[in-house]
Structure 1
Amino acid sequence: MKLVDLNTTEERIEALTEKIKPFAKRAHKYDEDGSFPFENFQVLKEIGYSALTVPKEFGGLGISLYEMLRLQETLAIADGSTALSIGWHMGITKFLGEEHIWKDDKYQSYANDVLTTGALLNNAATEPATGSPTRGGKPETSAKEVDTGWIINGRKTFTTLAPILDYFVVSASIEGKKQVGNFLVKRETSGLEIEETWDSIAMRGTGSHDLVLNDVHVSKDDFVQEISSGSKRAMGWLLHIPACYLGIARAAQAYAIDFATSYSPNSIEGTISDLPNVKQKIGEMELRVMQSQHFLYSVAQKWDQSSQEARQTMQSELGAVKLSVVNQAVEIVDLAMRIAGARSLSKQNPLQRYYRDVRAGLHNPPMDDMTIIKLASESIQRQSHNPSH
């Protein structure tokens, strides 16, 4: 069964939900071992998940941003690490194809690989010295032009999906110029190594190891994009991040409610779900989930229905969604743990994993401080043009 053969978003969500049930059972093992969930990705490849965001003009289904986020949230309820990992591939694949970032024949070649083999891609942009690329640091990774193409040297950190990626989009400073470019590097390229450095206590199953490039040779046409230092374009696909953390929060919410409706200490009649203080927390979780879903999906639908020009005015809105949903997700997991009590800190209890995982969202782009400053600047500017007195 391939998801592409189903007719509607709801049918695809239902089929995905069924297929990924084992993911939730395996999540504890991968977290405990810090190992990579190869089995999960095998399932996702079998159902053609990684190809869903390839645009129709390149032979794919070209699902909407709204549907991509719904699927990602569903996946994250089962396993947050798997969802966040493949979310990068899904979003970047969608963005590159829809925006024609690469030359069409280059993207088509990549898309064919995704459609036929389920090939996976991610950006490799973060470096030890520069931190998050959203802060504007220039890559220390270098690309030197030679007669036969380019020679790339450097190290990238937080390369999510490193154990299984087929393609790496590597940012590098071009030697002798101020220019920065993105280079497409295939996994089998000589000089490319994965150094297993990922030791985070959160999102342990993402395989976000270091990518090491030692005299890696790529062809001329693998220089796929020049990166401008000017204003960044709005990128709706990054909403896969809040969708993932909302999914994790919903998993915590479900666990807490199941616990509350089944736990009956001998000091009370019925279960603890009848207690006003527990009901208060359950209601607060539900309120936060509702707020997050409405914000996330209304903005996603606005993106889908907007022109390219209108989308470029949505940067602050996209950042606000990420900030709001991720912080609400942290609060939802906290409430769930308060309901479950001290047992939520047991290594066998999934709530402690959700707590660690959901906090990782605070460190995904865009950063909260940048979003708040941008919102403040726009608010001040708007008011200065429309003074109330």
Structure 2
Amino acid sequence: MESFFIKTEKQRKMIKKVNSLVPRFQEREYLLDEKGSFPYQNIQDLIDIGYTKLSLPTIYDGDNISAYDLVLYQENIAKGDGSTALSIGWHMSTLIAMRGERSWPKELYDYVCEKVQHGALINYVLSERGQGSPTRGARLQTVAKKAPAGWEITGRKSFATMAPALDYMIISALVEEGGEEREAFFLVPSKCEGVSIDEVWDSVALRGTASHDIVFHQVVIPENFLVDQTSVPETVKRSTGGLLHVPACYLGIAQAAYEYALDFALHYTPGNRKQPIFHATHIKERIGRIQLLLAQSRHLLYSVAEKFDGLDDKEVLYPHLAAAKYTVTNHALDIVDLAMRVTGARSLSEKNPLQRYYTNVRAGLHNPPADDEILNMLAMSVV
């Protein structure tokens, strides 16, 4: 990353801390290829440097970080390990969304901030099997009903990133009262009786995110743990700035692939050549194309993040944030492909990180909003 993207001394100091962890993350990344894995050490390292509370307001010992800050830090974390970046990115973006939500009851918001201040982790857990992306508005199968002690929740959620490490979850559920149905959000402590993890996550991409299913069986939470009564698509739309951590993750993975390929090209001299393969015309063309794609991705992503931070009416930028997600995630696919073409067949070795980068960046296609949703949104934005 070019240094001019770092604009403040505060950013420089945090980037220095994050970058000190990158080699450690890269050394551990192969361990996450196993089923049931999770980067506990990496997450603890981020907690130890104070990273996980940066999204909190300053009164809670946070830094009130902006969308631009988030993109900057998350890209560098992802260069070390994509699973770690995407996992902690959801925690960070959840806190940013909470910070901007006026609907959160103050007492409940204060409660969560105090827990995060002392190392707690939180994430939205919204997806349900067979229902498609939560942004598409399918009818929720998880149900909440009034109980003597508050609310009783029963259901099942899927793709719960960071499932084994979460302390709190914000879940969506259908509330049935007086013959009417409405969607609502609830704060659920992970250690509540009736909460269990079904370890079904076997994805070859970003396996270390441990995005298992979470089962809620007659889980009782206090009445004041009702967060808001609104739809999932509407809530996701209002939290757009924090969601930039998703393309930032795949940009970081692509950067790692580029750096590996460049180092290989600069130092590998086959027996039929007198100098490293970097000097071959077709290799320089591929390196140049990677540089072009990285520049396009980075300038678009950081520009949109900066504009988001500076606008009061942030919803007008939603199509542009979606366009940034589309562009960066698809460019990341091309970047890793080109990096593999630079290094050749060895990139498919199980011991080679490029094969991991290749599968990991493909996960970006399936993080909401999906490509077809984005293109439809962009088309509708002009009428």
Using the size of structure 1 for normalisation, the TM-score is 0.93
Structure 2 residue 239 is matched with structure 1 residue 237:
no
The equivalent residue for 1:204 is 207
Question: Which residue identity does 1:142 align to in structure 2?
Answer: V
Query: Which string of whole-angstrom CA distances, capped at 9 and with x for unpartnered residues, describes residues 270-309 of structure 1?
Result: 01000000000000000000000000000000011111x2
Residue 63 of structure 2 is aligned to residue 61 of structure 1: yes
Quick one: distance in 1 between partners of 2:285 and 2:380? 37
Q: Which residue number corresponds to residue 161 of structure 1?
A: 162
Match of 1:178 among 174, 178, 181: 181
2:355 corresponds, among 352, 355, 361, to 352
Conserved? CA contact 2:125–2:170, under 8 Å: yes
SS at match of 1:201: coil
The percentage of counterpart residues that share the same residue type is: 45
Task: Find out whether 1:314 has 2:317 as its counterpart.
Answer: yes
> Residue 272 of structure 1 is aligned with which of 274, 277, 292?
277
Contact 2:134 2:232 in 1 (8 A): no
Partner of 1:193: helix, strand, or coil?
strand
Deviations 1:311-348 (A, max 9, x none): 11111001000000000000000000011111100000
Tell me if the contact between 1:121 and 1:169 (Cα under 8 Å) persists in the aligned partners. yes
Amino acid at match of 2:151: W
Equivalent position of 1:3 in the other structure: none
Deviations 1:92-119 (A, max 9, x none): 1011013334112211111111112x11
Given that residues 89 and 246 in structure 2 are in contact (C-alpha distance below 8 angstroms), is that contact kept between their aligned partners in structure 1?
yes
Amino acid at match of 1:355: Y
CA contact (8 A) 1:242 1:321 kept: yes
Give aligned pairs, total. 372
- In structure 1, give the amino acid aligned to 2:369: P
Match of 1:281 in 2: 286
Q: Would you say 1:361 and 2:346 are equivalent positions? A: no
Distance in 2 separating the partners of 1:171 and 1:265: 57
Q: How far did residue 201 of structure 1 move?
A: 0.5
Query: Distance in 2 between the 1:350 and 1:86 partners?
Result: 21
> How far 1:376 moved relative to its partner?
1.3
Does residue 335 of structure 1 match 2:338? yes
Q: CA deviation at 1:228?
A: 3.5
What code does the residue aligned with 1:335 have?
Answer: L
Asked if the contact 1:234–1:312 (Cα under 8 Å) also holds between the matched residues in 2, the reply is no
Q: Distance in 1 between matches of 2:35 and 2:182?
A: 41
Larger CA deviation: 339-348 vs 142-151: 142-151
Three-state SS of the structure 2 residue aligned to 1:312 is helix
For the Cα contact (< 8 Å) 2:269–2:275, is it kept in 1?
A: yes
Structure 2: runs of 5+ lacking an equivalent:
1-7
Choose from 87, 95, 98 the match for 1:96: 98
Partner residue of 2:198 out of 184, 195, 199: 195
Separation (CA, whole Å) in 2 of partners of 1:159 and 1:319: 22
The CA deviation at 1:234 is 5.7
Distance 1:113 1:46, change over 3 A: same
CA contact (8 A) 2:136 2:233 kept: no
Q: Distance in 1 between matches of 2:185 and 2:245?
A: 22
Counterpart for residue 15 of structure 1: 17
Residue aligned with 1:314, SS: helix
Q: What displacement does 1:34 show?
A: 4.8
Deviation at 1:361, TM superposition (A): 0.3
TM-score relative to the length of structure 2 = 0.94
Instruction: State the alpha-carbon separation in 2 of the partners of residues 7 and 89 from structure 1.
Output: 24
Note if contact 1:285-1:332 (Cα within 8 Å) is conserved in structure 2.
yes
Aligned partner of 1:131 in structure 2 is 132
1:387 maps to: none
Structure 1 runs (4+) deviating above 6 angstroms are none
Structure 2 residue 255 is the aligned partner of structure 1 residue 250:
yes
Q: Secondary structure at the match of 1:138?
A: coil
User: Where does structure 1 lack aligned partners over 5 or more consecutive residues?
Assistant: 1-5, 382-389
Contact 1:55 1:94 in 2 (8 A): no
SS of residue in 1 equivalent to 2:145: strand
Residue 83 of structure 2 corresponds to 81
SS at 2:320 equivalent: helix
1:141 aligns with 2:146: no
Task: Quote the RMSD (CA, aligned, Å).
Answer: 1.5
Contact 1:156 1:212 in 2 (8 A): yes
Deviations 1:27-67 (A, max 9, x none): 01122455111111111111111100112254421111111
Deviation at 1:240, TM superposition (A): 0.3
* Distance (whole Å) between structure 2 residues aligned to residue 31 and residue 364 of structure 1: 20
The more displaced of 76-85 and 57-66 is 57-66
User: Could you tell me whether the CA contact under 8 Å between 1:234 and 1:313 is conserved in 2?
Assistant: no
Q: Structure 1 residues 100, 245: CA separation in 2 closer, same or farther (over 3 Å shift)?
A: same
SS of residue paired to 1:8: helix
1:204-223 matches, within 5 Å, as 204-223=207-226
Which residue does the alignment assign to 2:305? 300
Amino acid at match of 2:356: R
* 3-state SS in 2 of match to 1:247: helix
User: 1:164 & 1:244 partners in 2: Cα distance?
Assistant: 19
CA contact (8 A) 1:299 1:317 kept: yes
Task: After superposing the two structures, state which structure 1 stretch, 280-289 or 218-227, moved more.
Answer: 218-227
* 1:36–1:324 CA distance, 2 compared to 1 (3 A): same
